[in-house]
Amino acid sequence: MTLQPLAATSADDLAQRFVDASAGGCDAIITFAHGFVFLHTGCESDRKRGPQRDPVGYDAAKKTKGIKRNVIVDTIGLLLGIAVIPANIQDRDCAANLIRKTRHLFPWIAKIFADGGYAGAKLKAALAGQPVELEIVKRTDNEGGFKVVRRRWVIERTLSWLRRNRRLMAHYEAFALIAEGFAKLAMICVMLKRLTEPKLTCAM
């Protein structure tokens, strides 16, 4: 991305430079500041921050492009583990590694409730050596839309807590590790708020 100050430039000359930059395969943006005219030019490759960027995928079921957040929470919804993966990867494909890493930090985890996306023989085989029980909680109706389902509503509430942070409303990060870190920071804020806020007491 280059920044070119264009002082005392006529409108025709400015328009011609804009056309030349756009024709060269670059994005051109004109801004005005402190009496100067600035022409910002940057190619598409500059905006993608190079080849080190972690990939994003396309979820054909939800018809969205981006990432997925796979999380493990306790019974009251506090975050224990998180993995950010491309949207085209199935949830069950990363679940075994996430469970393994989370149990390394919290070895007392003995049972995990999950939705239907984690069902299948592949995940069961991957967890065969882990002393943990996986229970799939499925919906009992065929209706579409959001429904409050036993155990599953806890993790949906946690994800809504995370999305209340502007940085987590969309996937802005170039690396999945940084995105996971911001999710953990958001949960730390939730826990600190609970510890520091005075509890309401009912006056008799």
Same domain membership, residue 100 and residue 14: no
pTM for this prediction: 0.68
In a domain, 52, yes or no: no
CB-CB neighbours of 71 under 10 Å: 21
- Based on the domain organization, do 191 and 141 belong to the same domain? yes
Question: 92 pLDDT band (50/70/90 cuts)?
Answer: confident
Q: Beta-carbon neighbour count of residue 203 at 10 Å?
A: 4
Confidence category of residue 138, pLDDT binned at 50, 70, 90: confident
- The mean-pLDDT minimum among 1-5, 115-119, 131-135, 156-160 falls in 1-5
Q: Could you tell me which residue, 102 or 203, shows the higher pLDDT?
A: 102
Confidence of residue 71 (pLDDT cuts 50, 70, 90): very high
The verdict on 35 and 115 lying in the same domain is no
What average pLDDT does range 178-193 have in this prediction? 93
DSSP label of 164: T
The answer for residues whose C-beta is within 8 angstroms of residue 124's C-beta and 6 or more apart is 134
Question: Which long-range contacts link 105-110 to residues 24+ away (Cβ below 8 Å)?
Answer: 105/80, 105/81, 106/80, 109/72, 109/80
3-state helix, strand, coil in the chain (%, to 5): 40, 25, 40
Say which CATH number the domain at 98 has: 3.30.420
Give residue 74's pLDDT.
93
Instruction: Give the structural domain span for 175.
Output: 57-196
Compute φ and ψ for 51, nearest 5 degrees. Answer: -75, -5
